[in-house]
Each structure stands twice: as C-alpha cells, then as structure tokens.
Chains A and B, each alone.
Chain A
Amino acid sequence: MSRSEVSKEQDEMGITTEDLPGGIAKVILDGNLGIEGAAAIDLRMNVIAGAHNAVIVDLQKVTFIGSMGLRVLVAPARAIKSRGGKMVLFGPNEMVEKVLKTSGIDTVIPVHHDLQAALAALQ
C-alpha cells in the first residue's frame, strides 16, 4: 500500500491518498471544504480521478462543505463514471451529510457509513 500526503496547516484543507488492494484509491480529506479548501484540492482530486477507476473519499474529518466543495466531489465522480468506474463517499458527519442530501448529491454519489460496505460497492 502506498501513501501520499499533502501537509495541512491550521484552517487549511488536507488531502491524503492510499492505494488499497483491488486498484481502489482511498482519498482522505481533512478540514474545511469551503471555497478556499475546495480550491486547494481541486487539481489533486482531478488528478486522482484521472488515474483511478475506483475511488473512496473519506469525509470523516471534513468539518464543513459548501457548494464549491460539492463541485470537487461531483466533477471527479463524473470523470470516473465516464470511464465505467465508480466513486463513493464515506463517513460524513451529520451536517456534511445534510449538505449532501439537500443538494441531492447523495443520489448520484453513494454515501456509506460502513467502510466495508463502501469498499464492497466499488468491487
């Protein structure tokens, strides 16, 4: 398993990736996914989406998400889907999940709270 991490200072958005068995990329996001946080990881998310057909995005440490944050989830999910792959979201907190539901994103990118179920959905 390889691991790649971009260091995160206070109030910044952190992004870490892990290569899991089965060609799955796990992307761990950490911090505030508002406008500035979304801009900070946008390119990286698109690079990951361009290189993997199965991606799980771990949202457990995401404290906030706005519409720009949703963009950096939807655009990679679309790119992956266009190649026949799949992206799933894992572990959002209650308020982040409310944003996913209010926007309807949860209907096009599956949201899981059980890691094994999330990984199984990518098989």
Chain B
Amino acid sequence: MIGNHRESTPDRIVLHSDLSEISRVFRWIEVLASRYEIVESVQFAINLCLEEAVSNVIRHGYAGQPGRPIAVCFSISGEGAYIFTVDDEAPPFNPLETPSLPMLDEQGEARIGGHGILLIRGFADALEYKPVQGGNRLCLVFSKGASPHDPQ
C-alpha cells in the first residue's frame, strides 16, 4: 500500500493552473528519468498519467480558473517504485470514483472525450485519492519496470 512505503529522494514542482504549464512537467520528468534511469516505457506512463491528472485539475477542479496552484511531488519507495503525488486546492473530488464511460456515446458513435481517467487507471500501477484540508491529493505509483541493464 502507498502508506506503507518508506519514501526517499523527494522532489517537487509547483505549477499554475494553465494547460501550457504541463510542458514543464514533461521537462521535469525528463530530468528525473535521466537521474534515476527510469526506463522509457515507465517514463511514458508517468508522462501520460501526470498530463491527465494535472489537466483534470485545471479543467475540472479549478474550472479553468487561472493562477491556482498544483504541486507535484516525486519520491521513490523503499521497494523502488516511483511515487508521484498531485496536490491541489480545488473543491473535493475523487477522480477514482468517476465511472469509466463506454467507448460509444448515446448515438453509437466513438466518444470524443472522457478517456483521461481510463488512461490513468490503465497506466499507473497503483492509485490512491485522499481529501486533504482545502484540497485533494492523488497518489500515483509506477513500478520500476524492466531495466535495459537487467540480465535477461
């Protein structure tokens, strides 16, 4: 469980509630990936889940209101998993309780939106939501994955 992990090596980035800020997350992940030798497929999953989580906060949690904070923290668990927490000051909302929408809409056509939560569920290895004072905290956990240096 997330709460039992012995965490180390914290790192943190604070974003403003603007979608253009998400490119800063990508650059930050690039640095972390290089520093901690995060394999490419895991880096892809982290980028994907953080883009979806942060954009959900900006578009839905803050309803597009500019200048609000979103803090993303990184740590490595005692077992070597990568842990990211996304903290916001938006009204309480648990994205993990949002039901996945069917692929087809009411007209039987491919649904244009609503894939974000599905992707987070599909690409993160563990998720945990916690309401915190004045906001929300979403924890996303990613297993280390197979290292290209690991013996076959």
- A residues contacting B by CB (< 8 A) are 11, 32, 34-36, 64, 66-68, 70-71, 74-75, 77-78, 81, 94-95, 98-99, 102-105, 107-109
A99 near B55 with CB under 8 A, answer no
- Contact present for A34 and B111 (CB under 8 Å): no
Q: Which residues of A contact B119 (CB under 8 A)?
A: 66-67, 99, 102-103
Say yes or no for B47: interface residue by CB 8 A criterion. yes
For A75, list chain B residues within 8 Å (CB): 112
A78 to B51, CA, bound (A): 25
B126 within 8 A of partner (CB): no
Contact B113 A102 (CB under 8 A): no
Which of B44, B45, B104 meets A108, CB within 8 Å?
A: B104
Chain B residues within 8 Å of A, Cβ to Cβ: 19-20, 22-23, 26, 40-41, 44-45, 47-48, 51-52, 55, 103-104, 109-116, 118-119, 122-123
Cα–Cα distance between A102 and B112 once the two chains are bound (Å): 15
Q: Which 7 A-B pairs rank lowest in CB-CB distance, beginning with the nearest? A: A102-B122, A104-B103, A108-B110, A67-B115, A103-B115, A67-B116, A95-B44
CB-nearest residue of chain A relative to B45? A95
Distance, CA A75 to CA B51, complexed state (A): 20
Are the CB atoms of A105 and B116 closer together than 8 Å? Answer: no
Contact between chains at A102 and B44 (CB < 8 Å) = no
Contact status of A107 and B103, CB under 8 A, knowing A36-B20, A64-B44: yes
Q: Which chain A residues lie closer than 8 Å to B45 at the CB level?
A: 95
Most buried by B among A34, A64, A75, A107: A34
**Across the interface, do B115 and A34 meet the contact criterion of CB distance under 8 Å?**
no
**How far, in whole Å, are A16 and B116 apart by their CA atoms in the complex?**
27
Give which listed residue, A74, A103, A109, contacts B118 with CB less than 8 A: A103
Residues of B close to A103: CB separation below 8 A: 103, 115, 118-119
A81 shortest CB reach to chain B, Å: 8
The chain A residue sitting closest to B113, CB to CB, is A71
